[in-house]
Amino acid sequence: MTSAALLDRVGLRVGDLPCAIAETAFPVRVPPHYLGLIRRGDPDDPLLAQVLARGAELLDAPGTLTDPLAEAGFGMGQGILRKYRSRALLLAAGACAIHCRYCFRRHSDYGDTMLPAGAVDDALAAIAAAPEIREVILSGGDPLMLSDTRLAALLPAIAALPQVTNIRIHTRMPTTVPARVTPALCALLAGLGTPVVIVLHTNHAQELDGVVAAALADLRAAGVHLLNQSVLLRGINDTPPVAAAHARRLFACGVLPYYTHLLDPVAGAAHFDVPLAEARALEAALRADLPGYLVPRFVREVPGADSKTPIWALD
Ligand SMILES: *Cc1c(COP(=O)(O)O)cnc(C)c1O
Ligand code: SF4
C-alpha cells in the first residue's frame, strides 16, 4: 500500500495532516484488522501514526544509524543472535504483517541474516553445544508469519533441546492479525511440554479490541504466558494517562506489561523520539498511578551491554 492509499482508506487528505507523507523503500503495510481499528478522519490517531510514512522519515537526523544496535557482530551462525548469555534469538522469519515506521530492523537485509529452513538443524546444534543457553527466542521479522507446518517442525525441535527450559516468541501477529491465533496453533503451543512465553508488541490500548482480546484468551487457555513490549513513541504513548490506560487494558486482556523501549536511534524514525528526561518522568508517573506489576520496565538497548539497560542506569 502507498501512504496516499492509506490516507484515503481512513478518510483523510494530505492537507488534513500537519506534515508531508512519503513513499520509501520500507513500504507501508497495514493488515485489515489493524486498519479497521484506526479512527476514520482523525489525523492524530495513535494507530495511524505507527504505520503512516511521514516526510520526516527522509530527513537525515544527526546520530541515527541503519544498524543502531550494532547487531551485525553478534551472530553465532546464520539466523542466530546471541547478545545475552542465557538466551539465544533465532531470526525465524523475514517478514512482518505490519510495517512499524519506527522499526529498528527497517534497514536490515533479512535475506542475509535470517534463518532459512535448511539452516535450522545447524542452528539447533549450535545451541545444543552452548549449555548456558536456557531460553530460545523466536524473533524476526515476525515468527508467526511462518506456517503452522514450519512451526510444527521448529518448536518441538527446540523443546527437545535438553537445556532449554522455556521458549519465547516475540510477535505482533496476535494483535494485528488475530485470525492467526488458530486452534491448530494453540494446540501446537499447548502440546510442547515446555513453557511458552509470548511477548506481544502493542503501543496503545486502542490496539486491544474485543477480537484481539478473544485471540489472547485462546492463547492463555493454551497455557501461554503473555507479556507485552512497547516502544515509547512521541505523540502516541508518551503521556501518563495514555500509558496507564494501555497497561490497564493489557491486564484486562490477561497480559502483563514487560518492557517499554526507548527508541533506538534508527535512521528515518527520529520524529518519534522521546527525550530521556521525559521517559523518566513518565515512568515515575506510572509508578505512582499503577500497581507495581503493571509498570513496564523502561529500558534502552546499549550496544555491548549484557542485558537491556534500565533508564535509571543511563547517563
Ligand atoms: C532483547 C533481546 C533478548 C531478550 O532479552 P530479555 O531481557 O530476556 O527480554 C535476547 N536476545 C537479544 C539479541 C535481544 O535483543
Ligand atoms: S512487527 Fe516488529 S519487526 Fe516487524 S516492522 Fe514492526 S517493530 Fe519491526
Cβ–Cβ under 8 Å, residues 263 and 237: no
Quickly state the pLDDT bin for 109 (edges 50, 70, 90). low
Q: Which of 76, 83, 166 to mutate to test the pocket of ligand 1 (most atoms within 8 A of CB)?
A: 83
Q: Is residue 308 within 6 Å of ligand 1 at its C-beta?
A: yes
Give yes or no for residue 289 having a pLDDT over 90. Answer: yes
Lowest mean pLDDT among 72-86, 103-117, 167-181: 103-117
- Predicted confidence at residue 75, as pLDDT, reads 65
Give yes or no for residue 115 having a pLDDT over 90. Answer: no
How far apart are the C-alpha atoms of 166 and 160, rounded to whole Å?
A: 11
Q: What's the average model confidence in pLDDT over 186-203?
A: 98
Which ligand lies nearest the alpha carbon of 74?
1
Give the cell for residue 207: 490496539
Nearest CA to ligand 2 atom 7: 103
**pTM value?**
0.96
Q: Is residue 2 within 6 Å of ligand 1 at its C-beta?
A: no
The rounded Å distance from CA 82 to ligand 1 centre is: 8
Q: What's the average model confidence in pLDDT over 121-145?
A: 95
Q: What is the mean pLDDT of the chain?
A: 93
Give yes or no for residue 105 having a pLDDT over 90. Answer: no
- Predicted confidence at residue 17, as pLDDT, reads 92
Q: Is residue 137 within 6 Å of ligand 1 at its C-beta?
A: yes
Which ligand lies nearest the alpha carbon of 89?
1
Give yes or no for residue 236 having a pLDDT over 90. Answer: yes
- Predicted confidence at residue 193, as pLDDT, reads 95
- Predicted confidence at residue 234, as pLDDT, reads 97
Give yes or no for residue 63 having a pLDDT over 80. Answer: no
Q: What's the average model confidence in pLDDT over 210-231?
A: 98
Give yes or no for residue 271 having a pLDDT over 60. Answer: yes
Decide if domain 68-313 falls under CATH 3.20.20.20.
no
Q: Which of 168, 180, 172, 258 is nearest to 214 (CA)?
A: 180
The rounded Å distance from CA 298 to ligand 1 centre is: 14
Q: Residues in the chain, how many?
A: 315
The rounded Å distance from CA 162 to ligand 2 centre is: 31
Find how far residue 11's CA is from the centre of its chain: 27
Q: Is residue 307 within 6 Å of ligand 1 at its C-beta?
A: yes
Q: Is residue 47 within 6 Å of ligand 1 at its C-beta?
A: no
Q: Which of 15, 17, 1, 2 is nearest to 271 (CA)?
A: 17
Nearest CA to ligand 1 atom 1: 308
Q: What's the average model confidence in pLDDT over 195-203?
A: 98
- Predicted confidence at residue 106, as pLDDT, reads 76
Quickly state the pLDDT bin for 29 (edges 50, 70, 90). very high
Q: Is residue 97 within 6 Å of ligand 2 at its C-beta?
A: no
The full set of domain ranges for the chain reads 1-58, 68-313
- Predicted confidence at residue 206, as pLDDT, reads 98
- Predicted confidence at residue 157, as pLDDT, reads 97
Which ligand lies nearest the alpha carbon of 81?
1
- Please report the DSSP string for the chain in residue order: --HHHHHHHTT--GGGSSS-B---SS-----HHHHHHSPTT-TT-TTHHHHPPBGGGGS--TT-BSSTT-GGG-BSSTTEEEEETTEEEEE--S--SS--TT-TTTT--HHHHS--GGGHHHHHHHHHT-TT--EEEEESS-GGGS-HHHHHHHHHHHHTSTT--EEEEEESHHHHSGGGS-HHHHHHHHTSSS-EEEEEE--SGGG--HHHHHHHHHHHHTT-EEEEEEE--TTTS-SHHHHHHHHHHHHHTT-EEEEEEPPP-BTT-GGG---HHHHHHHHHHHHHHS-GGGSPEEEE--TT-SS-EEGGG--
Nearest CA to ligand 2 atom 8: 103
Q: Which of 240, 248, 229 is nearest to 300 (CA)?
A: 229
Establish how many alpha carbons lie within 13 A of residue 211's alpha carbon, considering only the half-sphere containing its beta carbon. 17
Q: What's the average model confidence in pLDDT over 95-113?
A: 81
Which ligand lies nearest the alpha carbon of 100?
2
Quickly state the pLDDT bin for 62 (edges 50, 70, 90). low
pLDDT in tens, 144-175: 999 999 999 999 999 999 999 999 999 999 99
- Predicted confidence at residue 44, as pLDDT, reads 96
Give the cell for residue 83: 547478545
Q: What's the average model confidence in pLDDT over 38-67?
A: 88
Quickly state the pLDDT bin for 266 (edges 50, 70, 90). confident
Quickly state the pLDDT bin for 71 (edges 50, 70, 90). low
- Predicted confidence at residue 68, as pLDDT, reads 63
- Which residues, including other chains, have CB under 8 Å from residue 158's CB and lie 6 or more apart? 124, 136, 164, 167, 194
- Ligand 1 atom closest to the CA of 258, numbered from 1: 9
